[in-house]
Amino acid sequence: DARVTQTPRHKVTEMGQEVTMRCQPILGHNTVFWYRQTMMQGLELLAYFRNRAPLDDSGMPKDRFSAEMPDATLATLKIQPSEPRDSAVYFCASGLAGGHEQYFGPGTRLTVT
């Protein structure tokens, strides 16, 4: 049963620390998305990749966030240094370019104290 996996599921860290979140897209999917969800802002698109190339990262604070796809089976989202306002649930989703559905992972719940 193919699923998007994300690690870690939960992360608590102190402000100033580096945080790395990982995502394994569904095998064969060529688009990968990173979203952030908070109660106040709802779901926000941070970045997305097609065939491992970043297509849009305009939703991401460039000074502290970075997203990469080292290979087709791994996407990473890094925050350095982290701040309390980064506390949120971060979702990864994958899909096929031109397809109907994005398949979401279970999310990483990040708490920065």
Partner 1 sequence: GEDVEQSLFLSVREGDSSVINCTYTDSSSTYLYWYKQEPGAGLQLLTYIFSNMDMKQDQRLTVLLNKKDKHLSLRIADTQTGDSAIYFCAEKRGNNDMRFGAGTRLTVKP
- Residues of this chain that interact with partner 1 (CB under 8 A) are 4, 35, 37, 41-45, 55-56, 91, 93, 95, 97-98, 100-102, 104-107
User: Least distance from C-beta 101 to partner 1, angstroms?
Assistant: 5
Which of 17/38 has CB closer to partner 1? 38
Which of 87/95 has CB closer to partner 1? 95
Q: Closest Cα partner for 58 from 80, 42, 34, 39?
A: 34
Q: Closest Cα partner for 82 from 16, 12, 21?
A: 16
User: Least distance from C-beta 36 to partner 1, angstroms?
Assistant: 11
The total of other beta-carbon atoms located within 10 Å of residue 92's CB is 28
For residue 98, give every residue at least 6 positions away whose Cβ sits within 8 Å of its Cβ, in sequence order, or none: none
User: Least distance from C-beta 23 to partner 1, angstroms?
Assistant: 11
